[in-house]
């Protein structure tokens, strides 16, 4: 898929009743190399209805990464606790207060159906250009919503939605964090790979 191709505009196959069918996809490794559009495409993607858009808020803190949860419980707070100089965006696009500046943002969502749909809505909003020039979108982080392998239908939907992002990272369930706080000391390799790909540093206890 080319860097400037939007899968919801040029991809997908319509069924007889006009509904879009998911394209056939090949599974990718946990450390993803899949890349989609790297910039908004306002001429190709319509701005979503207000009910389908995330709110915005002006921020005055300069950080290396804003983690933007596409829905409640996505994991933005967990990631901010694991990564130095990063902050949770509180489920709102973090817009810089300085003219000409942009904030580095990664969307975070869970791998259940509701989480994937929220991630798709966020991608459509970004692609429509609502935050153009204000947000530098790094990609999408999907965090497992349960231990074990995800159903095939969710994995297919995940790959389809990830095609609307510059990049995808899939992070596993961590059982230790279910009963206690997340700690950089027991981060799985997939989390460390995410930090390496984004040139971020793990927090120290």
Domain locations in the chain? 56-197
- What is the C-alpha radius of gyration for the chain, rounded to an integer number of angstroms? 17
- What is this structure's pTM? 0.85
CB-based contact 130:53 (threshold 8 Å): yes
- Beta pairing class for 13-14 and 20-21: antiparallel
Residue 171: C-alpha distances to residues 28, 29, 141, 144 (Å):
13, 11, 7, 6
Distances (CA, A) of 178 to 54, 67, 78, 144, 145: 27, 20, 11, 12, 11
Using 70 as the pLDDT threshold, list the residues of the chain that sit under it: 1-34, 205
CA distance 39 to 119: 17
Alpha helices in 38-92 (DSSP H): 76-82
Is 3.20.20 the CATH number for 56-197? no
Per-residue tokens: 143: 């965090």
* Alpha-helical runs (H) found in the chain: 7-10, 76-82, 113-127, 152-162, 176-179, 189-197
Sign of the alpha-carbon dihedral angle for 84, 99, 92, 143: negative
DSSP string across 104-121? EEEEEEESSHHHHHHHHH
| Whole-angstrom distance, CA of residue 111 vs CA of residue 173 | 10
pLDDT score of 7: 55
Distance (Å, rounded) from C-alpha 62 to C-alpha 43? 31
* Contact by Cβ (8 Å): 205, 100: no
Token pair 């003219």 in the structure block, residue? 99
């Amino acid at each position: 898929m080319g860097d400037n191709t939007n899968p919801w505009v040029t991809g997908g196959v319509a069924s007889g009743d006009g509904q879009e069918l998911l394209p056939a996809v090949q599974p990718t490794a946990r450390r993803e190399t899949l890349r989609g559009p790297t910039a908004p495409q306002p001429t190709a993607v319509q701005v979503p209805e207000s009910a389908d858009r995330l709110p915005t808020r002006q921020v005055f803190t300069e950080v290396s990464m804003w983690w933007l949860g596409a829905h409640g419980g996505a994991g933005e707070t967990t990631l901010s606790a694991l990564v130095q100089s990063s902050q949770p965006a509180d489920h709102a696009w973090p817009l810089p207060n300085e003219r000409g500046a942009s904030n580095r943002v990664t969307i975070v969502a869970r791998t259940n159906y509701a989480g994937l749909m929220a991630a798709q809505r966020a991608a459509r909003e970004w692609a429509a250009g609502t935050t153009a020039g204000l947000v530098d979108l790094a990609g999408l982080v999907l965090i497992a919503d349960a231990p074990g392998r995800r159903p095939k239908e969710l994995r297919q939907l995940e790959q389809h939605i990830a095609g609307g992002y510059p990049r995808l990272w899939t992070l596993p369930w961590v059982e230790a964090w279910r009963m206690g706080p997340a700690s950089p000391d027991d981060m799985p390799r997939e989390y460390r790979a995410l930090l390496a790909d984004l040139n971020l540093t793990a927090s120290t206890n």
